[in-house]
Amino acid sequence: MISNRQHLAAGTLIGDQYRIVKLIGQGGMARVYLATDQQNGGSVAIKIMKAELSNDQEFIKRFDTEARAASSLDHPNIVKVLDHGQDGELRYIVQELVEGQTLKALIDHRGPLPWTVAVPLTIQIGLALEHAHRHGVVHRDIKPHNILLTEDMVAKVTDFGIARAVNTNTITLTSGITLGSVHYFSPEQARGSIVSEKSDIYSLGIMLYEMITGQVPFDGETSVAIAIKHLQEMPPLPSTINHNIPPGLDNIIQKCIQKSPDNRYTDVRQLVDELDAFMIDPDGIYGVLIHNYDGEAGTSAIGLKRFDPNYEKIRDIEKAIVNRRRSRQRDVVIVVTIILLSLVFLTSIGVWTYQKLSESMARPTQNEITIDNYIGRKITEVKPLLESADIPYKIVYQSSDTVDRNIVINLSPPAGTTIKMGGTTVLHVYVSAGQEKYILDNYSGWTYEKAKATIESLNLGFVVLRSLEPSDDFKVGTIIKTIPEQGAEIRYGDTITLVVCGGKATVIVPNLAGKSLREVRELFSNELHLIVGTLTNMHVDLVTGEPVEVDEKNRVVIKQGVAPGTEVMYQTTIPLTYGTREDYYYFLNPTPTPTPEPSPTPTPEPTPEPSPTPTPTPTPDPTPTPDPTPTPTPTPPSPGFDAD
């Protein structure tokens, strides 16, 4: 039994199966460790609730909710939950290990993403949410921090810690306020109302806004101020911040973040379909709204329905967020310290301090700095200024038909913004690359890692993506071609896709019977490039004959939809039938059905010998009558087995 310590040492065994390797991350509720599954040797991520929350029933409920909600979902764009449980005082969730970074980290590092990158990512996240909604789960905390990106730019949604079933009450804090992240949560969450799937659509729209502009649409000094903006304001159109955004995408985002859920997309599928259409025809008309205000219908591209905010509930949100982040002991110390310092401050400083504070209100503190306006200046002049001011910055090149090369054309955050010195804010300095174009080199045969490093070392703002394609002519992991093709003229900041050989075009399906379903998934993903298709459960209750679900970790493949030895195309879907290990052994060696044994076929009575012919009057040498051929006794049938 393991006690709930602050940190787990390498080598600690969790649940008699998962051995801790190292700490790889942490959030407000849990720490995440890299671990090894002792059953198959694979690497997993194991999330363990923090010790200080182990007695908090609300957080225990959230943790258990995440385990239940995520384990019920199986989608390529959702981080797979493999196992969950409790070991002594430790509550843990075992997830697939995703190699990559969060979407938030990408935005912080890269700044605004090209809409040609942001929209496909949003489509992937939308498909994940559609799957969750179809299974009755609303995420309620969609934000870039909860989106993991693989090296292939596959988005995976994680952290269902405050998800809820659609047909149950919302999970709330003790004050009755709905949880969520204030920069991304919906107006109905700010009001403390019951949320629906459309709350996730709102948060997805907010996140898409941040992806293409590099900044959240609503910000403020306190959570209350931000919540009020969610309730009352509509943000500037993204295209007013990033001029490369088509109007159609403006309208799609505006429809996602309408204050009234009724004015948003009907469901995530409708949003995904419109984003798909936008990618095909960016100049089309999208995001059309049909409003119903007090019975009056109308249609527009953007709209706003005002709601009166419940300020008491908003303040409760602020209180709940702050209180949850502090331990009770720390609260007592902080409150006492503040009171004492306040008394000293008021009695000893008085009017003089008030005047000094009034003067300092107009200028940044010693720990803050205001960003100067560097637009129009050469980057060679700006870099020393930023470095001397100790401002973290990143240079992003953008093509421009009107501004000379190496001239600063934009800043994010904008000039005049006050930031904390030594904080996490990174100043993105957008520099003109002029009208010059770059001739794309030939990277055929290179490894993906080498080509990516070479392209990024050019420091021309290129976005490098990877896609897999089968090939018999290239080694696995090497580049087949680029999109655009080699020799193409591309502008600084464009996207380059490296098409990498993922294996041969065909593969021989092996015998999968007897392997664990986990083992098959890894084999398909890492070596065979096949897809697990429809799963059929053949485990039944011996008394009722009804199907009984088998835990993921205990599932064993019994039959496969494509026969072993069959040559199939890369990415072929293989249906599988699974059960328990006992089901598998029974399938190989079935026991005769326990029904009354069949009565043995009765041995037919022997044909009676013919009555002796009376001795005839002797005649010369009569021909003797031959003996009758005895009828053979039938052999009883041996017990047979049903064929598959």
| Active-site amino acid positions | 141
How far is Cα 140 from Cα 72, in angstroms, rounded to an integer? Answer: 16
- For CA atoms 51, 52, 53, 56, give the dihedral sign: positive
Backbone angles phi, psi at 537, to 5 degrees: -95, 125
- Residue 439's SS3 state is strand
How far is Cα 82 from Cα 69, in angstroms, rounded to an integer? Answer: 12
Strand 147-150's sheet: what is its strand order? Answer: 100-102, 147-150, 155-157
> Taking the mean position of all CA atoms in its chain, how far away is CA 248?
26
Q: Is 51 left (phi over 0), alpha (psi -120 to 50) or beta?
A: alpha
> Taking the mean position of all CA atoms in its chain, how far away is CA 15?
25
Helix (H) or strand (E) holding 351: helix 350-360
How far is Cα 238 from Cα 210, in angstroms, rounded to an integer? Answer: 9
CB-CB contact of 54 with 130 (8 Å): no
CB-CB contact of 182 with 140 (8 Å): no
CB-CB contact of 371 with 412 (8 Å): no
Compute the radius of gyration of the chain from its Cα atoms.
35
- Residue 635's SS3 state is coil
Measured CA angle at 260 (ends 215, 297), to 5 deg: 125
H/E/C letters for each residue in 104-135?
HHHHHHHCCCCHHHHHHHHHHHHHHHHHHHHC
CB-CB contact of 47 with 18 (8 Å): no
Biggest alpha carbon–alpha carbon distance for the chain: 161
Assigned token pair, 474: 């290239």
Q: CB count, 10 Å around CB of 212? A: 24
Q: CB count, 10 Å around CB of 475? A: 10
**Eight-class DSSP state of 553:** G
Measured CA angle at 328 (ends 327, 333), to 5 deg: 100
Among the listed residues 172, 168, 160, the one whose alpha carbon sits nearest the alpha carbon of residue 67? 160
Half-sphere exposure of 435 (CA within 13 A, CB side): 3
Backbone angles phi, psi at 269, to 5 degrees: -60, -40
Measured CA angle at 431 (ends 426, 434), to 5 deg: 165
Backbone angles phi, psi at 38, to 5 degrees: -70, -20
Half-sphere exposure of 310 (CA within 13 A, CB side): 12
Among the listed residues 598, 578, 478, the one whose alpha carbon sits nearest the alpha carbon of residue 538? 578
